[in-house]
Amino acid sequence: MNPPAQSAANRLLDHAEFKLITSEYDSANNDLNQVVFDNLSIHGQMQYYFVKGYLSALLEKPIADTLYYFNLILNDLDDTHSTIFTQLAYTGSGIAYGYNNENQKSEFFFQKVFDDLHTLPLTDNKAIWRALNMIFYTAEYFARVQDYKTSDSLLQYGYEICANNHVTYYAARICYRRAQNAIAEGKDTAAVTDLINDAKAFARINHNQKLLDRIKNTPLK
């Protein structure tokens, strides 16, 4: 394998993965399209299918396509289920089933990751991205089924990871999700406004224009 070519492919994968955080899905797809698959290690192939599967789920593509990408990880590339990509594939499968309104199947996959969320490795930036990804989307699932107590607890944990590791990515989305939960729970406007303002501040730091647009259109009650 050509090391410079492998390094270039890995950089593109990292760019695409980071764009999952800022919801720049079309741009992330463009990055993936430039990856020469033959230049990827097994680890790189798992990262590729994890990002590809998430993009497919979040853009609400046909669920069979989405699950195909995750199954390549679960049944082939990581069939011993010994890497973080298995947990990411479970989370992505939960997202896909949730968007497809198959809540029982969605719950099955989110429950598979739930018990391990507090022991995920936080060894470097990429590990932190991935832990926050799983925490955030699991919290979003629990909000969708109106278990706001569990959702808020996960969001608080995610926010603490951001604070303890001095990272701002995901902080904007975590604060915004907390604001959405607070609105759904009928909390007072002052508490909601504080969370919205925090979300705005972090979104500006991260240049997350898509989230700023969503925040602007959010009624506070």
CA distance 113 to 86: 9
The answer to whether 14 touches 8, Cβ cutoff 8 Å, is: no
Looking at the structure, do residues 139 and 209 belong to the same domain, yes or no? yes
- Its pTM stands at 0.94
pLDDT tens for each residue of 172-217: 999 999 999 999 999 999 999 999 999 999 999 988 888 999 999 8
Residue 171: inside a domain:
yes
Looking at the structure, do residues 107 and 178 belong to the same domain, yes or no? no
Number of domains in the chain: 2
Residue 121: inside a domain:
no
pLDDT tens for each residue of 115-163: 899 999 999 999 999 999 999 999 999 999 999 999 999 999 999 999 9
The answer to whether 155 touches 178, Cβ cutoff 8 Å, is: yes
Looking at the structure, do residues 103 and 138 belong to the same domain, yes or no? no
CA distance 48 to 44: 6
pLDDT tens for each residue of 168-183: 889 999 999 999 999 9
| CB burial readout 99-124, b (16+ within 10 A) else e | bbeeeeebbebbebbbeebeebeeee
